[in-house]
Amino acid sequence: LKVAVTEIPIPVSYGPAFEGERVRKDDVYLECGGGKTPCCELVQIADMSEVEDGRVEVIGPDIKDVKPGSRLPLAVVVQVAGRKMQEDYEPILERQIHHLVNYAQGIMHIGQRDIAWYRIGKQAVEKGFTLEHIGKILHAKYHQDFGAIFDKCQVKIYTDEKKVNEMVPLAQKAYKTRDERIEGMTDEGTETYYSCTLCQSFAPTHVCVISPERTGLCGAYNWLDCKASFEINPTGPNQPIQKGDTLDAKLGNWKGVNDFVYKASRQSVSSYNFYSIVYDPMTTCGCCECIAAVLPMCNGVMTVNRDYTGMTPSGMKFTTLAGTIGGGNVTPGFVGHSKYNVTQRKFIAGDGGLKRLVWMPKMFKDEIRERLMKRGEEIGIPNFIDMIATEENGTTEDEIYAFLEKVGHPALTMESILG
């Protein structure tokens, strides 16, 4: 039985025209996530018997229970079932939440996974928008756009603090499992990379090209996810790219990729390097999980995750960095990347690799601690993790430099990062 949903049953206008729209601070009725409250989004496959198609439950307070300007924790959990549904498709459906929710007038959505950020505007609330409508949107649009791969879908929207705090670690476990599926694959081992142009509605010249060792900068798509997405939707945003001739193996530059990017960026980007932050790095859009920046005095690189709101040694906070480089241009010295990418072997390999990393927020270090330690062993510096400064050691280049000298950080004796 196939369900055909043609209308989106919500009280506000809906469509791509509203995608880029912002909800300003003063217009916010309800805000969730964005580093202010715990938040996560998770799409998971379930048994046919567990899913009642179209059911949307709000577990915890909804709009009517809170005052204008409120904040709530939030977990958006979608269960999908069907004979053709596979675990591999979960990340693809999940990544759609971003633009699908954004299509609603007066609703702003940024990010994904456990860094998603929702703002529901006062005007939308006046028209009758409630949290339940997020579920209605997902149910209707999933059927419209992905009806071929599943039969039934139900949505649970948790705002109950205790429940959200239970859901977040479960979601993080699922993200980790997905991320690690790509472990073991190398860029050299495949002739095909994949494009992602999902973010062009926000950053029209931005094209992610995703290789096994460089996951999408939003953290939500790796090479396998793009491959699955192409199988589901052969004319969609994830196209296979034949790498073609290798123009620079160290910096990660391929003729086939450049040709694709040139066309897909509407002739605005003719070449970029996968493995460099210094020389024509990849373009960045506003979804990036992290932004790395060169710290010339330290002869190294810092990186900051979206959920860290403090100052960084680049002199900018994450939001300023994102505002500066997130428009889809090549910005030498800066690059957006996923959290997982830091511990992938090709991370800024063209500039000296992980050994260049001199600063990162403590929370980020703790989050990837296990993998960072493993990579430290691999590069022959088992205590490397302790050589990376955090905000506890300082937030200016001077402070960081002093720390690096004290711990004997390898970046200080490497060749000049700026060449």
Q: Which residues bind Zn ion (CB under 5 A)?
A: 199, 285, 287
Q: How many CB atoms lie within 10 A of CB 280?
A: 18
Quick one: tokens of 47? 């048994």
CB of 199 to Zn ion, least distance (A): 3
Quick one: tokens of 335? 């690059």
CB of 164 to ligand SF4, least distance (A): 24
Under the binding rule (CB under 6 A), the answer on residue 241 touching ligand SF4 is no
Distance CA 51, CA 321 (A): 42
Write out the binding residues for ligand SF4, residues 180-199 only, by CB under 6 A.
196, 198-199
Q: How many CB atoms lie within 10 A of CB 198?
A: 23
Helices and strands (H, E) in the chain, number of each type: 11, 17
CB of 116 to ligand SF4, least distance (A): 13
- Which of 216, 333, 350, 410 forms a contact with ligand SF4 (CB under 6 A)? 216
Under the binding rule (CB under 6 A), the answer on residue 257 touching ligand SF4 is no
Residue 208 binding target from ligand SF4, Zn ion, none, CB below 5 to 8 Å by type: ligand SF4
Distance CA 334, CA 27 (A): 32
Q: Are 99 and 124 in contact (CB under 8 A)?
A: no
For residue 142, give the nearest of 230, 224, 203, 81 by alpha carbon.
81
Q: Are 293 and 324 in contact (CB under 8 A)?
A: no
Q: Which is nearer to Zn ion, 74 or 199 (CB)?
A: 199
- Which of 32, 77, 95, 182 forms a contact with ligand SF4 (CB under 6 A)? 95
CB of 95 to ligand SF4, least distance (A): 6
Q: Which is nearer to Zn ion, 19 or 62 (CB)?
A: 19
Residue 217 binding target from ligand SF4, Zn ion, none, CB below 5 to 8 Å by type: ligand SF4
Q: Are 333 and 277 in contact (CB under 8 A)?
A: yes
Q: How many CA atoms lie within 13 A of 161 on its CB side?
A: 3
CB of 3 to Zn ion, least distance (A): 30
Q: Which is nearer to ligand SF4, 217 or 241 (CB)?
A: 217
CB of 285 to ligand SF4, least distance (A): 5
Q: Which is nearer to Zn ion, 200 or 396 (CB)?
A: 200
CB of 203 to Zn ion, least distance (A): 6
Write out the binding residues for ligand SF4, residues 261-300 only, by CB under 6 A.
285, 287
Distance CA 263, CA 255 (A): 13
Q: Which is nearer to Zn ion, 56 or 217 (CB)?
A: 217
Q: Which is nearer to Zn ion, 60 or 219 (CB)?
A: 219
Distances in whole angstroms, Cα of residue 145 to Cα of each of 137, 138, 140, 311, 388:
12, 10, 9, 41, 44
- Which of 58, 157, 182, 208 forms a contact with ligand SF4 (CB under 6 A)? 208
Distance CA 155, CA 43 (A): 9
Distances in whole angstroms, Cα of residue 59 to Cα of each of 79, 97, 139:
15, 19, 17
CB of 95 to Zn ion, least distance (A): 10
Q: Which is nearer to ligand SF4, 79 or 338 (CB)?
A: 338
Q: Which is nearer to ligand SF4, 14 or 223 (CB)?
A: 223
HEC letters along 298-360: HCEEEEEECCCCCCCCCCCCHHHHHHHHCECCCCCCEEEECCHHHHCCCCCHHHCHHHHEEEC
Count of residues interacting with ligand SF4 (CB under 6 A): 12
Catalog residues that contact ligand SF4 under the rule CB under 6 A. 95, 196, 198-199, 208, 216-218, 220-221, 285, 287
